[in-house]
Homo-oligomer: A and B are copies of this chain.
Amino acid sequence: MTRQELIENIKRKQSFLCVGLDTDIKKIPSHLLKEEDPVFTFNRAIIDATAPYCVAYKPNLAFYESTGVAGLISLGKTIAYIRENYPDQFIIADAKRGDIGNTSEMYARSFFDHMKVNAVTVAPYMGEDSVKPFLLYPESWVILLALTSNKGSGDFQLIKDQEGVMLFEAVLKKSQNWASKEQLMFVVGATHGRTFETVRKLVPEHFLLVPGVGAQGGNLKEVAEYGMNKNCSLLVNSSRAIIYADSSDGFAESARKEAAVIQQEMSVYLRNKQIIQE
């Protein structure tokens, strides 16, 4: 999917919501455990319920890998299901990969040839040659970790260099030489509030993938206020608050309601910035 297509989808659906499919077999409603593939059954129900309200899905690979081959099969079925039934959804493999060049090539093959996702999250620690192999596929996207939503983000990402540039700022600056805004996004956690102003000075046009709204305490209003540009250029992710809204038989309906509430709020922010009309 191109950047322009993604922007059009956001306007049409009045939403910049990404639903995080962090599906843990230990947390899904117990009545699903009798199904042949409980994780896929759960995901399919969540997807059918939330697709009208979101523009992207983000399965986190860890949750699928944690059950080995069975988990990978569930993930493959989930991606195929989205592709077939909701082709306007942008699919992000949240994998936080990154390795030496010939190895990153293998990961790229895995995500873009095999899984056929639109984007993969990549950790920047190993530098340019660990990132570039992901950009070699047509319309493939790298979403580079810049400032993450977790407590440990302060351990290294905020270290200032001798010119006072923080590590996450160095990542934002340097990586712009590796790819254009047509293939590169950045992860900036919702928990950092006004830091979005700093981020937007460095990357005024790039898309930002924003985790940390909901269970992690980030604030959507603040993210929209400081992070949105004239094309929106935000994908705000919510995982647990949507997919585990309810552990009863009615889990999918509860997820739908939760996603609809967020979409409503997002449509207000899109109107306020005149990205969509009244």
B-binding residues in A (CB < 8 A):
22, 24, 60, 62-63, 65-69, 72-73, 76, 94, 96-101, 103-104, 106-107, 109-110, 113-115, 123-131, 145, 148-157, 159-162, 164, 167, 170-171, 174, 211, 216
Inter-chain contact B106/A127, CB cutoff 8 Å: no
Inter-chain contact B148/A110, CB cutoff 8 Å: no
Inter-chain contact B174/A170, CB cutoff 8 Å: no
Q: With A103-B63, A150-B101 known to touch, is A155 a contact of B127 (CB < 8 Å)?
A: yes
Chain B positions within 8 Å of A159 at CB level = 159, 161, 167, 170
Q: With A76-B68, A106-B62 known to touch, is A153 a contact of B124 (CB < 8 Å)?
A: no
Q: Looking across the interface, which residue of chain B has its beta carbon closest to that of A111?
A: B65
Inter-chain contact B170/A150, CB cutoff 8 Å: no
For the complex, what is the distance from the CA of A154 to the CA of B71, rounded to whole Å?
Answer: 36
For the complex, what is the distance from the CA of A131 to the CA of B123, rounded to whole Å?
Answer: 14
Q: How far is the CB of A67 from chain B (nearest CB, A)?
A: 7
For the complex, what is the distance from the CA of A17 to the CA of B103, rounded to whole Å?
Answer: 20
For the complex, what is the distance from the CA of A129 to the CA of B150, rounded to whole Å?
Answer: 8
Inter-chain contact B160/A145, CB cutoff 8 Å: no
Inter-chain contact B106/A129, CB cutoff 8 Å: no
Inter-chain contact B68/A103, CB cutoff 8 Å: no
Chain B positions within 8 Å of A68 at CB level = 72, 76, 110, 114-115
**What are 28 A-B residue pairs whose CB atoms fall within 8 Å in the complex?**
A22-B103, A62-B99, A62-B104, A65-B107, A65-B110, A66-B106, A67-B110, A68-B72, A68-B76, A68-B110, A68-B114, A69-B69, A69-B72, A96-B98, A96-B123, A98-B123, A101-B150, A101-B151, A124-B155, A126-B153, A127-B151, A127-B156, A128-B152, A129-B150, A130-B150, A131-B152, A156-B170, A160-B161
